[in-house]
């Protein structure tokens, strides 16, 4: 199976488009590098950018199964493996850029990874991504049999480690890390109800609200524990909406958009059935 064909070997427009799309962040990074848009410390900036894309790709990979269950888009399963592999690719690029930044002094890289907790956590996540990557081939799926699924659940822990690494190196402003955490919470909550319960506008809206509250609460807890900023002040910042849009609001908006989209899809399908019955 090629990145542009489906399981029966036929050309798949969806797979081809997603495959091409996965290279866009890399091409954009190269273009910014060549035009000097990465600022005075291009390796540093490219390290940050590739790290952000690794987290985004992991969250997108984890969103595929819930979206498939909510909207009944079975074909999405075709692209899950390639998005997961892209996450591994961006993680390896991120690590390579870090090694380049350390002037390829591998002894120093190893000791930094061993001594700095946020790098140890990042390393564990990269290691996990590589294990999932090499065991994602059809041959590995067959070889691992019933062990494949439990092994690939490690992806949830990898996402958690990646987001923790993101928070730990964010210093004073953890907004982007909190946003990724919020999306991760949302996609994890979609996995809790069974498919029948999930296909309800109230369940979907409830999950959106729950994810938003958890995001706001955990974000405030992080600021309180890591920066000394009062958690209550961070929680209150959420009330400055719409002047200030904190991650919890973005998570709420995304979750409610999914609920509305599902409702629209169901209404449209019901009308189509009625029209067909009348014809
Ligand atoms: C051995 C593995 C890793 C190493 C050595 C590493 C190293 C680093 C370093 C040094 C930074 C800060 C760069 C700077 O301040 O210039 C950073 C930031 C970051 N890393 Fe990693 N990392 C690793 C793995 C990962 C993984 C697996 C992910 C994602 C799942 C990740 C996501 C990020 C993100 C999102 C940032 C911050 C971007 C931002 O602040 O906007 N890293 N990493």
Look at residues 128, 144, 169 and tell me which one is the last residue of a structural domain.
169
Considering the domain boundaries, does residue 276 fall inside one? yes
208 lies in the same domain as 164:
no
Look at residues 169, 194, 210 and tell me which one is the last residue of a structural domain.
169
56 lies in the same domain as 152:
yes
Considering the domain boundaries, does residue 180 fall inside one? no
Tokens of residue 113, six digits: 């990874």
160 lies in the same domain as 208:
no
Query: What does each of the 279 residues of the chain score in pLDDT, given as a tens digit?
Result: 788 898 888 999 999 999 999 999 999 999 999 999 999 999 999 999 999 999 999 999 999 999 999 999 989 999 999 999 999 999 999 999 999 999 999 999 999 999 999 999 999 999 999 999 999 999 999 999 999 999 999 999 999 999 999 999 998 899 999 999 999 999 999 999 998 899 999 999 999 999 999 999 999 999 999 998 999 999 999 999 999 999 999 999 999 999 999 999 999 999 999 999 998
Ligand 1 in reach of 170 Cβ (< 6 A): yes
Backbone angles phi, psi at 11, to 5 degrees: -60, 130
148 lies in the same domain as 31:
yes
Ligand 1 in reach of 123 Cβ (< 6 A): yes
Range of the domain at 44: 1-169
State the pLDDT at residue 19. 96
259 lies in the same domain as 128:
no
State the pLDDT at residue 196. 86
5 lies in the same domain as 97:
yes
Considering the domain boundaries, does residue 175 fall inside one? no
98 lies in the same domain as 43:
yes
148 lies in the same domain as 225:
no
Considering the domain boundaries, does residue 129 fall inside one? yes
Closest CA to 182 of 10, 56, 83: 56
Residues 6+ apart with CB under 8 A from 87: 54, 57, 58, 61, 129
Closest CA to 60 of 95, 112, 25, 10: 25
State the pLDDT at residue 8. 87
Between the CA of 83 and the centroid of ligand 1 the distance, in Å, is: 19
161 lies in the same domain as 266:
no
State the pLDDT at residue 7. 83
Question: Which residue among 62, 169, 171, 174 has the greatest number of ligand 1 atoms within 8 angstroms of its CB, and so is best to mutate?
Answer: 169
Between the CA of 99 and the centroid of ligand 1 the distance, in Å, is: 12
Question: Which atom of ligand 1 sits closest to the CA of residue 49?
Answer: 38
Considering the domain boundaries, does residue 196 fall inside one? no
Considering the domain boundaries, does residue 193 fall inside one? no
First to last CA, the chain: 42
Tell me how many domains the chain contains: 2
Considering the domain boundaries, does residue 188 fall inside one? no
Ligand 1 in reach of 166 Cβ (< 6 A): yes
Strand-pairing partners, residue 11, are 5
> Residue 276: enclosing H or E segment and its boundaries?
helix 247-278
254 lies in the same domain as 153:
no
Look at residues 121, 154, 169 and tell me which one is the last residue of a structural domain.
169
Considering the domain boundaries, does residue 248 fall inside one? yes
133 lies in the same domain as 11:
yes
149 lies in the same domain as 217:
no
> Between vectors from CA 86 to CA 83 and to CA 88, what angle results, nearest 5°?
120
CA 68 from chain center: how many Å?
16
């Amino acid at each position: 199976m090629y990145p542009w064909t489906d399981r029966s070997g036929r050309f798949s427009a969806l797979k081809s488009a997603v495959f091409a799309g996965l290279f866009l962040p890399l091409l954009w990074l190269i273009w910014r590098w060549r035009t000097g848009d990465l600022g005075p410390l291009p390796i540093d900036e490219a390290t940050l950018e590739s790290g952000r894309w690794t987290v985004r790709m992991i969250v997108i990979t984890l969103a595929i199964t819930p979206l498939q269950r909510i909207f009944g888009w079975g074909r999405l399963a075709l692209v899950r493996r390639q998005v997961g592999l892209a996450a591994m690719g961006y993680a390896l690029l991120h690590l390579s850029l870090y090694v380049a930044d350390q002037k390829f002094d591998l002894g120093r890289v190893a000791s930094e990874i061993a001594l700095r907790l946020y790098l140890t956590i990042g390393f564990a996540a990269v290691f996990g991504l590589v294990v999932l990557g090499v065991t994602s081939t059809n041959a590995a799926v067959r070889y691992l049999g019933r062990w494949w699924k439990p092994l690939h659940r490690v992806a949830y822990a990898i996402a958690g480690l990646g987001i923790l690494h993101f928070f730990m190196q964010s210093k004073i402003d953890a907004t982007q890390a909190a946003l990724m955490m919020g999306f991760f919470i949302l996609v994890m909550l979609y996995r809790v109800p069974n498919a029948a319960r999930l296909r309800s506008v109230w369940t979907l809206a409830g999950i959106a609200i729950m994810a938003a509250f958890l995001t706001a609460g955990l974000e405030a807890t992080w600021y309180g524990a890591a920066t000394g900023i009062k958690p209550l002040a961070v929680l209150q910042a959420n009330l400055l909406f719409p002047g200030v849009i904190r991650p919890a609001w973005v998570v709420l908006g995304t979750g409610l958009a999914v609920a509305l989209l599902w409702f629209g899809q169901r209404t449209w399908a019901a009308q189509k059935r009625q029209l067909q019955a009348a014809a």
